[in-house]
Amino acid sequence: MRRQFLAGVLALSAIVMTGCSKPAAPPKPETPAEPPKPKVKAPTLEDTGLPAPPDSVRVSILTDKGEIVVELDGKHAPTTTANFLHYVDEHKLDGGTFYRAMKSGDSAGFIQGTAAGFTYPPIPHESTKQTGLSHVNGTISTARYAVGTASNEWTICVGDMSYMDAGRDPSGDNQGFAAFGHVVKGMDVVKKILHGRISNKKAAPGEWQGQTLATPVKIITAKRVS
């Protein structure tokens, strides 16, 4: 009898506890998977409307300090090469200048030149990771601000300036500058410009203090050569 009584109490307790327990939480709705992001097509030469350049082409840049001949790599850097040739073929470099000399130590650095007059639209950026080129001694490269702003200015390296390659400056956009050829004649002229007298005037907006040549070197003419 006592056993039956205890069994009844236990059964009743189980019923009461079951009735007082909280209902199970409803299942959380599944988070819908994000749709795959569409792949953005990297800008190409075709986007500029410029004609495809030769795989290799030489340009003579005659300055009032002497001649510089550069060989452009249209095979690996077609967009940047085509842009430079556009300025050359339209004679926009004639009357331009080398106006900046950035020294890095005693024997390295770069000089920067600009075309004269009208500026064509900026071009897509061809990083050195894309082209496989590097900023070694004699490399010609486009100057820019943000990625995709390169247009009518370029630099020529003296010595190893590979810090200008993509992936070497994580403090910035880390895309480097677009190398597109190298000097094959006239490095003595490039060095002469690099070591030209620097202006001691306060730099104007857009200029570089301690890097602006007191007398810019004039570009008399630039043209393709065989």
pLDDT one-digit tens code per residue, 68-95: 999 999 999 999 999 999 999 999 999 9
Is the pTM value of this prediction over 0.85? no
* Residues with pLDDT less than 50, the chain: 1-2, 5-20, 40
Residue 19 forms part of a structural domain: no
- Are 26 and 180 in contact by the 8 Å Cβ rule? The answer is no
Residue 21 forms part of a structural domain: no
Residue 25 forms part of a structural domain: no
Residue 129 forms part of a structural domain: yes
Per-position DSSP letters for 211-225, written without gaps between them: TEEEEEEEEEEEEEE
Residue 39 forms part of a structural domain: no
Residue 6: per-residue pLDDT? 45
Q: What is the CATH number of the domain that holds 171?
A: 2.40.100.10
Residue 24 forms part of a structural domain: no
Residue 204: per-residue pLDDT? 74
Residue 170: per-residue pLDDT? 78
Residue 77 forms part of a structural domain: yes
Q: What domain range is 196 assigned to?
A: 48-225
Residue 10: per-residue pLDDT? 45
Domain count, the chain: 1
Residue 141, H or E segment: strand 139-142
